[in-house]
Amino acid sequence: MDTREFKSSLYKQLAKVTKALSNPHRLEILDLLAQGSFSVEYIAENANMSVANASQHLQVLKKSGLVDTVRDGKYIFYELYDGRVLETWRALRQLGLSRNQEINELLEDYRQRKDQMNLMSSDELFQKLKNNEVYLVDVRPEEEYNLGHIKQAGSLPHKQLKERLQELPTDREIVAYCRGPLCLMADEAVALMRKEGLHATRLENGFADWLAEERPVEITDK
Protein backbone atom coordinates (compact mmCIF):
# COMPACT_ATOMS: atom_id res chain seq x y z
CA MET A 1 0.00 0.00 0.00
CA ASP A 2 1.46 3.35 -1.01
CA THR A 3 1.26 6.52 1.06
CA ARG A 4 -1.82 7.83 -0.75
CA GLU A 5 -3.75 4.60 -0.24
CA PHE A 6 -2.71 4.44 3.40
CA LYS A 7 -3.81 8.01 4.02
CA SER A 8 -7.14 7.39 2.29
CA SER A 9 -7.66 4.31 4.47
CA LEU A 10 -7.15 6.38 7.61
CA TYR A 11 -9.72 8.96 6.55
CA LYS A 12 -12.12 6.20 5.53
CA GLN A 13 -11.97 4.69 9.01
CA LEU A 14 -12.47 8.12 10.60
CA ALA A 15 -15.45 8.70 8.32
CA LYS A 16 -17.15 5.67 9.90
CA VAL A 17 -17.30 7.59 13.16
CA THR A 18 -18.65 10.75 11.57
CA LYS A 19 -21.18 8.68 9.60
CA ALA A 20 -22.48 7.24 12.85
CA LEU A 21 -23.06 10.82 14.02
CA SER A 22 -24.92 11.83 10.87
CA ASN A 23 -28.30 10.39 11.89
CA PRO A 24 -30.72 12.44 14.06
CA HIS A 25 -31.99 9.35 15.89
CA ARG A 26 -28.46 8.35 16.86
CA LEU A 27 -27.72 11.86 18.10
CA GLU A 28 -30.82 11.70 20.29
CA ILE A 29 -29.64 8.35 21.63
CA LEU A 30 -26.25 9.88 22.52
CA ASP A 31 -28.05 12.70 24.32
CA LEU A 32 -29.98 10.12 26.31
CA LEU A 33 -26.92 7.98 27.08
CA ALA A 34 -25.16 11.09 28.37
CA GLN A 35 -27.50 10.69 31.36
CA GLY A 36 -26.32 7.14 32.17
CA SER A 37 -26.63 3.48 31.17
CA PHE A 38 -29.96 2.21 29.85
CA SER A 39 -31.56 -0.85 28.29
CA VAL A 40 -32.61 -0.84 24.65
CA GLU A 41 -36.24 -0.88 25.81
CA TYR A 42 -35.78 2.31 27.84
CA ILE A 43 -33.93 3.97 24.99
CA ALA A 44 -36.64 3.01 22.50
CA GLU A 45 -39.42 4.32 24.75
CA ASN A 46 -37.73 7.64 25.48
CA ALA A 47 -36.54 8.22 21.91
CA ASN A 48 -40.00 7.36 20.54
CA MET A 49 -38.93 4.49 18.31
CA SER A 50 -39.43 0.74 18.13
CA VAL A 51 -37.09 -1.57 20.03
CA ALA A 52 -35.89 -3.03 16.72
CA ASN A 53 -35.09 0.40 15.30
CA ALA A 54 -33.35 1.52 18.49
CA SER A 55 -31.30 -1.68 18.49
CA GLN A 56 -30.15 -1.06 14.91
CA HIS A 57 -29.00 2.45 15.73
CA LEU A 58 -27.23 1.24 18.87
CA GLN A 59 -25.35 -1.36 16.85
CA VAL A 60 -24.11 1.34 14.47
CA LEU A 61 -22.95 3.42 17.42
CA LYS A 62 -21.27 0.41 19.00
CA LYS A 63 -19.44 -0.59 15.81
CA SER A 64 -18.14 2.97 15.49
CA GLY A 65 -16.76 2.81 19.05
CA LEU A 66 -19.09 5.46 20.46
CA VAL A 67 -21.11 3.25 22.80
CA ASP A 68 -20.42 0.10 24.75
CA THR A 69 -22.50 -2.53 26.51
CA VAL A 70 -22.41 -3.69 30.11
CA ARG A 71 -24.16 -6.74 31.52
CA ASP A 72 -26.08 -6.74 34.80
CA GLY A 73 -27.23 -10.30 35.37
CA LYS A 74 -29.30 -11.28 32.35
CA TYR A 75 -29.81 -7.66 31.31
CA ILE A 76 -27.67 -5.67 28.87
CA PHE A 77 -27.30 -1.90 29.19
CA TYR A 78 -25.84 0.59 26.75
CA GLU A 79 -23.59 3.49 27.74
CA LEU A 80 -21.22 6.01 26.17
CA TYR A 81 -17.82 4.41 25.61
CA ASP A 82 -16.04 7.00 27.74
CA GLY A 83 -15.90 10.69 28.63
CA ARG A 84 -14.42 11.60 25.25
CA VAL A 85 -17.68 10.62 23.57
CA LEU A 86 -19.59 12.96 25.86
CA GLU A 87 -17.18 15.78 25.10
CA THR A 88 -17.50 15.08 21.37
CA TRP A 89 -21.29 15.18 21.62
CA ARG A 90 -21.22 18.43 23.61
CA ALA A 91 -18.78 20.01 21.13
CA LEU A 92 -20.87 18.92 18.15
CA ARG A 93 -24.03 20.26 19.76
CA GLN A 94 -22.34 23.56 20.61
CA LEU A 95 -21.01 23.86 17.06
CA GLY A 96 -24.50 23.34 15.70
CA LEU A 97 -26.02 25.87 18.09
CA SER A 98 -23.36 28.46 17.26
CA ARG A 99 -23.18 27.99 13.49
CA ASN A 100 -26.58 26.71 12.39
CA GLN A 101 -29.05 29.58 12.46
CA GLU A 102 -31.99 27.29 11.76
CA ILE A 103 -31.45 25.40 15.03
CA ASN A 104 -31.57 28.64 17.00
CA GLU A 105 -34.60 29.88 15.10
CA LEU A 106 -36.45 26.64 15.80
CA LEU A 107 -35.65 26.84 19.53
CA GLU A 108 -36.50 30.54 19.71
CA ASP A 109 -39.82 30.02 17.93
CA TYR A 110 -40.69 27.11 20.21
CA ARG A 111 -39.90 29.08 23.36
CA GLN A 112 -41.78 32.14 22.17
CA ARG A 113 -44.86 30.00 21.58
CA LYS A 114 -44.41 28.57 25.08
CA ASP A 115 -43.97 32.11 26.47
CA GLN A 116 -40.67 30.96 27.91
CA MET A 117 -37.54 32.79 26.81
CA ASN A 118 -35.62 33.20 30.07
CA LEU A 119 -32.65 30.87 30.47
CA MET A 120 -30.33 30.54 33.46
CA SER A 121 -26.66 29.73 33.01
CA SER A 122 -24.90 27.04 35.04
CA ASP A 123 -22.73 29.69 36.70
CA GLU A 124 -25.79 31.65 37.82
CA LEU A 125 -27.54 28.54 39.11
CA PHE A 126 -24.44 27.44 41.00
CA GLN A 127 -24.30 30.78 42.79
CA LYS A 128 -28.04 30.87 43.51
CA LEU A 129 -27.92 27.36 44.97
CA LYS A 130 -25.07 28.38 47.26
CA ASN A 131 -27.22 31.27 48.50
CA ASN A 132 -30.38 29.14 48.72
CA GLU A 133 -32.16 31.53 46.37
CA VAL A 134 -33.89 29.02 44.10
CA TYR A 135 -35.90 25.81 44.23
CA LEU A 136 -34.39 23.34 41.76
CA VAL A 137 -36.38 20.56 40.07
CA ASP A 138 -35.19 17.76 37.81
CA VAL A 139 -37.98 17.02 35.33
CA ARG A 140 -36.34 13.99 33.69
CA PRO A 141 -37.83 10.54 34.33
CA GLU A 142 -37.12 9.22 37.82
CA GLU A 143 -34.81 6.51 36.43
CA GLU A 144 -32.43 9.19 35.15
CA TYR A 145 -32.69 11.23 38.34
CA ASN A 146 -31.69 8.18 40.38
CA LEU A 147 -28.58 7.62 38.25
CA GLY A 148 -27.38 11.14 39.05
CA HIS A 149 -28.75 14.65 39.47
CA ILE A 150 -27.65 18.14 40.37
CA LYS A 151 -27.09 18.44 44.11
CA GLN A 152 -30.10 19.97 45.89
CA ALA A 153 -32.46 19.11 43.02
CA GLY A 154 -35.75 17.41 43.74
CA SER A 155 -37.28 14.90 41.35
CA LEU A 156 -40.43 16.10 39.59
CA PRO A 157 -40.84 14.15 36.34
CA HIS A 158 -42.54 16.30 33.72
CA LYS A 159 -45.29 13.68 33.26
CA GLN A 160 -46.26 14.11 36.92
CA LEU A 161 -46.04 17.89 37.05
CA LYS A 162 -49.75 18.70 36.66
CA GLU A 163 -50.66 16.44 39.58
CA ARG A 164 -47.86 17.75 41.81
CA LEU A 165 -47.95 21.51 41.23
CA GLN A 166 -49.06 22.06 44.83
CA GLU A 167 -45.65 20.80 46.01
CA LEU A 168 -43.88 23.78 44.45
CA PRO A 169 -43.09 26.94 46.44
CA THR A 170 -44.79 30.22 45.56
CA ASP A 171 -42.25 32.44 47.31
CA ARG A 172 -39.09 31.43 45.45
CA GLU A 173 -37.86 31.20 41.89
CA ILE A 174 -38.15 27.66 40.52
CA VAL A 175 -35.49 26.40 38.12
CA ALA A 176 -36.19 23.33 36.00
CA TYR A 177 -33.66 21.28 34.07
CA CYS A 178 -33.63 18.13 31.96
CA ARG A 179 -31.09 16.43 29.67
CA GLY A 180 -29.70 19.46 27.87
CA PRO A 181 -30.51 22.42 25.60
CA LEU A 182 -32.15 20.20 22.96
CA CYS A 183 -34.36 18.45 25.53
CA LEU A 184 -37.74 20.14 25.76
CA MET A 185 -39.11 18.61 28.96
CA ALA A 186 -37.85 21.57 31.00
CA ASP A 187 -39.40 24.04 28.53
CA GLU A 188 -42.78 22.32 28.84
CA ALA A 189 -42.49 22.24 32.62
CA VAL A 190 -41.59 25.92 32.87
CA ALA A 191 -44.42 26.88 30.51
CA LEU A 192 -46.92 25.02 32.70
CA MET A 193 -45.55 26.49 35.93
CA ARG A 194 -45.66 30.03 34.55
CA LYS A 195 -49.21 29.47 33.35
CA GLU A 196 -50.09 28.63 36.96
CA GLY A 197 -48.52 31.87 38.17
CA LEU A 198 -45.24 30.46 39.45
CA HIS A 199 -41.89 32.19 38.95
CA ALA A 200 -40.09 29.59 36.83
CA THR A 201 -36.97 29.50 34.65
CA ARG A 202 -35.19 26.72 32.81
CA LEU A 203 -31.51 25.91 33.13
CA GLU A 204 -29.80 26.62 29.82
CA ASN A 205 -27.97 23.30 29.77
CA GLY A 206 -28.70 19.98 31.48
CA PHE A 207 -27.41 17.36 33.86
CA ALA A 208 -24.71 15.94 31.57
CA ASP A 209 -23.21 19.41 31.10
CA TRP A 210 -23.30 20.08 34.84
CA LEU A 211 -21.53 16.78 35.45
CA ALA A 212 -18.94 17.43 32.74
CA GLU A 213 -18.17 20.78 34.36
CA GLU A 214 -17.45 18.90 37.61
CA ARG A 215 -20.12 20.67 39.61
CA PRO A 216 -21.79 19.03 42.65
CA VAL A 217 -24.02 16.05 41.89
CA GLU A 218 -25.79 13.36 43.89
CA ILE A 219 -26.83 9.75 43.24
CA THR A 220 -30.05 8.46 44.74
CA ASP A 221 -29.83 5.13 46.53
CA LYS A 222 -32.24 2.65 44.98
Residue 50 CB: number of other CB atoms within 10 A? Answer: 9
- Domain boundaries along the sequence of the chain: 3-85, 113-218
Q: Report whether 64 contacts 15 (CB < 8 A).
A: no
- Annotated catalytic residue within 40, 44, 178, 211: 178
Crossing angle, helix 51-63 and helix 24-33, to 10 degrees?
A: 80
The pLDDT, as a whole number, for residue 104 is 77
Strand partners, 38: 78
pLDDT > 80? residue 64? yes
The pLDDT, as a whole number, for residue 43 is 97
Shortest CA distance to 202 belongs to which of 152, 134, 149, 151?
A: 134
Largest distance between two CA atoms of the chain: 71
Between CA 77 and CA 83 the distance in angstroms is 17
Q: Does domain 113-218 have CATH number 3.40.250.10?
A: yes
Average pLDDT in the 110-124 region?
80
Model pLDDT for residues 119-139, shown as the tens digit of each residue: 899 999 999 999 999 999 999
Q: For domain 3-85, which CATH number applies: 3.40.1030.10, 1.10.10.10, 1.10.3720.10, 3.40.50.1100? A: 1.10.10.10
pLDDT > 70? residue 117? no
Share of the chain above pLDDT 70, in %: 97
Shortest CA distance to 135 belongs to which of 193, 213, 219, 215?
A: 193
Question: Whole-number mean pLDDT of the chain?
Answer: 92
Shortest CA distance to 36 belongs to which of 214, 187, 179?
A: 179
Between CA 32 and CA 72 the distance in angstroms is 19
pLDDT > 80? residue 110? no
To the query of whether residue 178 is one of the catalytic residues in this protein, the response is: yes
Crossing angle, helix 101-113 and helix 83-99, to 10 degrees?
A: 80
Model pLDDT for residues 127-172, shown as the tens digit of each residue: 999 999 999 999 999 999 999 999 999 999 999 999 999 999 999 9
Average pLDDT in the 72-87 region?
94
pTM for this predicted structure: 0.89
The pLDDT, as a whole number, for residue 197 is 93
The pLDDT, as a whole number, for residue 5 is 87
Rg (C-alpha) for the chain, rounded Å, is 19
Between CA 148 and CA 206 the distance in angstroms is 12
